[in-house]
């Protein structure tokens, strides 16, 4: 089945930060399935990056991996230069790298707070500056920032994460405002609760949090990481050429309601 021309990413290069696992990997696979050449970033170890690249290539995708710290401007600038020289100009940037620390605010050390803000918010500023200045020279580009339901809602013990993701929502809108004149669209994706290895300990029948999430979600289930692929492809493709400054929440309806309707 041929991809609709509006969603065709053949010939495009997509950089997905934090694309070695989880939701980042799912979105990278989606972009690759639409024809994009994907570049994934990680920081923890070269072995993990190599394993991710092998995972993509075994599925027939054109994939590359680079290790660098998304919070370090010098490392980012050097890596982006290498990627553009070795793989090709970056047409699509997915700012996905992030962390969360579940610590009540009154118990949170300043170092922990600053690490979350730096990784989840400041890194988007750092990476985007390096990539977008090159997009501007070429007169086109797509930036997708991975926001969160915590861009809209508060929750116990994730104050730093919510502050970063709330800031990222507004950074997305300001990036869109400044760069639209250069034919660069900047949007966000806000995932809901997804079934990943990180949430596996929660997704146990009888676990109160598992039951709460299912009951709170109008769709009545956890999201499958593949559910993010359509949103990523749309925002990375020419189908969204007049869409900018928007946050697309992929959450099974959570933000649409104060509670899941009860069945009869």
How many percent of the chain have pLDDT more than 90? 91
Buried b (16+ CB within 10 A) or exposed e, 25-61: bbbbbbbbbbbbbbbbbbbeeeeebeebbebbeeeeb
- The H or E element that residue 250 is part of is strand 247-250
**Which residues make beta-bridge pairs with 42?**
67
Q: pLDDT-based confidence at 264, cuts 50/70/90?
A: very low
Q: Which CATH architecture describes the domain 5-194+222-250?
A: 3-Layer(aba) Sandwich (3.40)
Buried b (16+ CB within 10 A) or exposed e, 191-212: bbbbebeebeeeeeeeeeebee
**Which residues make beta-bridge pairs with 142?**
92, 185
Q: What is the pLDDT of residue 3?
A: 77
Average pLDDT over residues 198-219: 91
Buried b (16+ CB within 10 A) or exposed e, 225-262: bebbbebbbbbbbeebeeebbbbbbbbbebeeeeebee
Residues 190/152, Cβ–Cβ less than 8 Å: yes
- Tell me how many degrees the CA angle 103-254-262 measures, rounded to the nearest 5: 115
Beta-carbon neighbour count of residue 11 at 10 Å? Answer: 10
Distance CA 7, CA 17 (A): 22
Give the mean pLDDT of the chain. 95
Question: Which residues are tagged catalytic?
Answer: 161
pLDDT digits (tens, 9 = 90+) for 73-129: 999 999 999 999 999 999 999 999 999 999 999 999 999 999 999 999 999 999 999
Residues 99/93, Cβ–Cβ less than 8 Å: no
Say whether pTM exceeds 0.85: yes
What is the DSSP-derived secondary structure letter of residue 254?
A: G
In this predicted structure, the answer to whether residue 261 has a pLDDT above a threshold of 80 is: no
Using a 10 angstrom Cβ sphere, with 0-12 exposed, 13-18 middle and 19 or more buried, the burial of residue 16 is buried
Distance CA 66, CA 51 (A): 12
pLDDT digits (tens, 9 = 90+) for 120-177: 999 999 999 999 999 999 999 999 999 999 999 998 899 999 999 999 999 999 999 9
- The H or E element that residue 65 is part of is strand 63-67
Q: Is 150 helix (H, G, I), strand (E, B) or coil?
A: helix
Distance CA 209, CA 167 (A): 27
SS3 of the chain: helix, strand, coil, percent, to 5? 50, 15, 35
């Amino acid at each position: 089945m041929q991809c609709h021309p509006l969603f065709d990413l053949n010939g495009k290069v997509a950089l997905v930060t934090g694309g070695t696992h989880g939701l980042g990997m799912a979105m990278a696979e989606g972009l690759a399935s639409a024809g994009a050449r994907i570049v994934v970033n990680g920081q923890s170890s070269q072995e993990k990056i190599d394993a991710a690249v092998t995972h993509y290539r075994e599925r027939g995708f054109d994939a590359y991996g680079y290790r660098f710290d998304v919070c370090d401007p010098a490392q980012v600038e050097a890596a982006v230069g290498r990627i553009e020289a070795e793989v090709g100009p970056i047409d699509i940037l997915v700012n996905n790298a992030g962390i969360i620390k579940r610590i009540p605010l009154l118990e949170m050390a300043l170092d922990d707070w600053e690490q979350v803000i730096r990784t989840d918010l400041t890194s988007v500023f750092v990476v985007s500056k390096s990539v977008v200045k090159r997009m501007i020279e070429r007169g086109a580009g797509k930036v997708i920032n991975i926001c969160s339901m915590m861009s809209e809602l508060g929750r116990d013990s994730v104050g730093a994460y919510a502050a970063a993701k709330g800031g990222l929502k507004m950074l997305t809108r300001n990036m869109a405002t400044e760069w639209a004149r250069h034919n660069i669209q900047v949007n966000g994706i806000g995932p809901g609760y997804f079934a990943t290895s990180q949430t596996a300990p929660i997704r146990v029948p009888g676990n109160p949090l598992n039951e709460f999430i299912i009951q709170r979600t109008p769709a009545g289930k956890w999201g499958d990481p593949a559910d993010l692929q359509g949103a990523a492809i749309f925002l990375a493709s020419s189908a969204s050429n007049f869409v900018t400054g928007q946050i697309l929440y992929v959450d099974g309806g959570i933000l649409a309601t104060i509670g899941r309707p009860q069945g009869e």
